Structure 1
Amino acid sequence: MAETVLRLEGVGKTYRLGKTSGAATIQGRWQAWRKGEGGGAPTSFQALQDINLDIYKGERVALLGRNGAGKSTLLKLLARITAPTEGTIYINGKISSMLEVGTGFHRELTGRENIFLSGAILGMKPQEIQEKLPEILAFSQCETFLDTPVKRYSSGMYLRLGFTVTAHLDADIFLMDEVLAVGDMAFQKKCLDKMREISQQQGKTILYVSHNMDTVRSLCDRCIVLDGGQVVYDGDVEQGIDHYMMQRLTVQDSYDFTDVPRKGTAQLMRMQRAQVSQKDHWLNLQLDLSSKEPRKGLHLRLTVANARGTPVATAVSQPFASDGTAEQRLTLTLDTDALVSGTYSADLAVVEPVGDKQQRHDFLEHAIAFTLEKEELPYRVQWPQQTWGSVRLPVMRVEHGA
């Protein structure tokens, strides 16, 4: 029988919402109440409820779910970043987590110093880390910048070194949360091959959160789907992906994101159902944006994925301003003529250019779903998206002669 490395029994996590006084004594709480701080009925948000799971040695498990389903919260509990409010978690082995690019790195330390720091946290001796160093440098290709503070690294360099340190040091369980989205395609393939290798050859266990279904199919041998903080599916990868896709492709009349925990200064609050004109195939979407401070150069970025979860197109809006005082209604219009018939989902982000990079103020995965119905070709041939793709290029010209 396979060895159990993670066991969750009745695990739940509840977050308290709203402003709190921060007072730790009875007197402090009384004074805060007199001032009107932290008053009112307490409100809470249950991110996870009654999670019961056994994860076995050597498994590569995909965690899927819509925005706010509880995926990241579950990984944070397993990484012991936060504690569950109910239930018990049993951990058998050392855990290494990469929940965002460069998690665990100290920005003022050099790449070399962060490698040794990460190894020390896992209980490795300096000599053991030194023996791993050549392999880490060869994989990350960051040797030239090894003695440079990581605060000067590009996001790509940060990712390469962060992933390499996580994957090469002496851990038994690896937690990965959408960490490969920053890297180029060649490095993504290299990382997937490495994760598959350490699982198959060294018996390491991997929990992997991703919205790229192709990487899930390539890497994982088990799939867990979360919805509303509960496990709604646990089993085969393909069936799990189908279950997840049915969730995200549900077209709703309206969408409310006010209860979704986020940290950005400009946030999407509500949206109306996306309307698609059957005459010219323009998509129209009304949404409400709330910002905590004035912003002049905001953009909306919409990334469209097909029914298999593969991103097929991205559109970026013209710049717009937000006064930072109240919610404002925005209307988004997009020409979808290049997309073929089918049901699509779309991620929405609020971004702002800062130098040569983009600052992301808000991100909602699978924020909307919409359906297109078209006559693709003049001779009415059905369009097979799996082999032909989801984007129809303009008609080619054919001429006689040279």
Structure 2
Amino acid sequence: MYNSARVLSAGRAVLELLQSDWEPLSHRELEWRLDQAVEDILETELIEKARTLVGPTCPQQLPVSTPPEYSEMPQQSKLGADNLNENDSIQYIKDLLQNSDCGYNRSRRPGRPRLSLNHTVLLSLALLSSRLSYRSVSARFRVEKGNIHRIFFSFCDRVNALENQHIRWLTGQEAEQNLQPFSGLLGEKDLPRVFGILGSTRIPLRGPVGKQEIEGEEERVLEKETHLDSWLNLELVCDSQGKFMHCRISKGSDSDKASSLKERLKQQPEMLPRDSYLIARLGYPLSGQILTPYPTAGCLREKFYNQSLEAHLDVFDQATAELKSRFQRLKYLDMVNFDRAKAVVLTACILHNMFLEGGDRFPAKAKREMQKEAEGEIEEDGVRKREAIADLLYIQMKKSEYAEQL
């Protein structure tokens, strides 16, 4: 009796299998399969394009042929050079992470599955450099979707542990070498000089009231946001090469315009070399250490001063354009948790500096964020220095015009 039941059960299973192979699909099942096939094709095309979004630092081919093992092993054991095709910058990142000391490495429980460092870096760069979903990356890397989230944030944790090494305020000889003339009309021995460019950019994210609809470019996303915490404020100071020396990430409701940095510069004047300044746009404080443009340039002297500032401010626009173009994920962070969003943004900023250290630039078209700003906090020392510098630039301009006439 028992054997007969087993035979009957097996027969039904075979019959169901044959029916599923020979009987036509239902309308709903056929529609589902077609949608799945189209989605797989689109995702395959996006994965193939992902490497171009990271620029020259992205591997030429994502490792899709060999399922990664969930263990930390020598780099050559599971991945061949043909699959990685890495350059020096990616190897540099892996070497730094290999020796980093972070909370993730210290708290990981023994035996818990983890991707090799090769796959962790490549998977995380694929997520940062594109708008691909976790499911898409999961399918291509043959890793469960639930683990993608853990792997990615473990990567961010390890990179964040390197912040003090790669986002640092220049001092001593490095600071002196970084100084730039305020204007091309002023020689190296003339004063003043520019130490860095201060500015900020917004990183849209899913607000606490629910996910926002994305329609095109970042500016359109920001226009639709109504909640102050539907974006992050990313305050940066970059040098003449676009490398970040200062990074402060805050919620959209934080209206601080570098006031903490201004106080720090005032209390520690040695942070800036003698007769050097930070340059910033309107809305930032005008002080003895931070110079801003005239809100309304009414005469030639003020216009020339503003033009001189604009040449430096363009460097900041280019730096943030490279950051967001290389790391497409920053154009919209689909997350609510502030700490995790902050970790992702900080990771991108640190990697930005790492790539620049390796000589990797990312082609990007600078575009200034249109934000109407009134003049920020004004200090008497800042007004005096702005007037003195405007006078000096105007005199140099007149001398140059007179020399050309001769």
| TM-score, normalization by structure 2 | 0.27
- If you compute each CA radius of gyration, which structure gives the higher value, 1 or 2? 2
- When you count strand as a share of all residues, which structure comes out higher? 1
